[in-house]
Amino acid sequence: MTIDSEKLAEGVTRICLRGRMDISGAEEIDVRFAGLVSAATSVIVDLSSVTFLASIGIRTLVANAKALRLRGGSMALFGPGPLVADVLRAAGIAEIIPVLESQGAAIEAVKTAGIVRA
């Protein structure tokens, strides 16, 4: 897997994940992901190039979303393909971390997270 990040306007950090988020993929990005999240408060995660997502990858997403929330920050996911979106729904993640179609909607979700739970 590969991971890269970009600071967008208004204090939002976009993290882009690419590849298979299975045991190998999660191991490849875990440290960097946690590092990026620890330096941010509002994080949107681009899943459009994630081709596979297993429960081990979901643990990475949830652990980082929880860490952010403990510090008063928030995370939203966006752009998953239909099969990855189906995994997120099956795992019940869509109810606890906002999953949006577009980057714009994800930015709105993290900006309003402190006021209204998305």
Partner 1 sequence: MRTTAGSPPFVPAPAAGPGLRRVLVLKNLPNELRRLGAWVAAVSRENCLSLETAFRVDICLAEAVANVIEHGFPEGGAHEIRVTVDPRGKEAVLTVDDGGQAFDPLRSTPRAAETLDEVGIGGYGLRILRHFADSCRYDRREGRNILTMSVRAAAF
- Which residues are at the interface with partner 1 (CB under 8 A)? 20, 22-24, 52, 54-56, 58-59, 62-63, 65-66, 69, 83, 86-87, 89-93, 95-97
Q: How far is the CB of 109 from partner 1 (least distance, A)?
A: 13
For the chain, give the secondary structure using H, E and C: CEEEEEECHHHEEEEEEEEEECHHHHHHHHHHHHHHHHCCCEEEEEEEEEEEECHHHHHHHHHHHHHHHHCCCEEEEECCCHHHHHHHHHHCHHHCCCEECCHHHHHHHHHHCCCCCC
**Residues linked to residue 99 through DSSP beta bridges, in sequence order:** 77
Residues in the chain, total = 118
> Least distance from C-beta 80 to partner 1, angstroms?
13
Cβ closest to partner 1, residue 6 vs residue 27: 27
- Which of residues 9 and 61 has its CB atom nearest to partner 1 in the complex? 61
Gyration radius from the chain CA atoms: 13
Instruction: Give the shortest CB-27-to-partner 1 separation in angstroms.
Output: 10
User: Minimum CB separation from partner 1 for residue 115, in Å?
Assistant: 16
Instruction: Return the number of the residue (4 or 68) whose C-beta is nearest partner 1.
Output: 68
Comparison of 16 and 94: residue with beta carbon closer to partner 1: 94
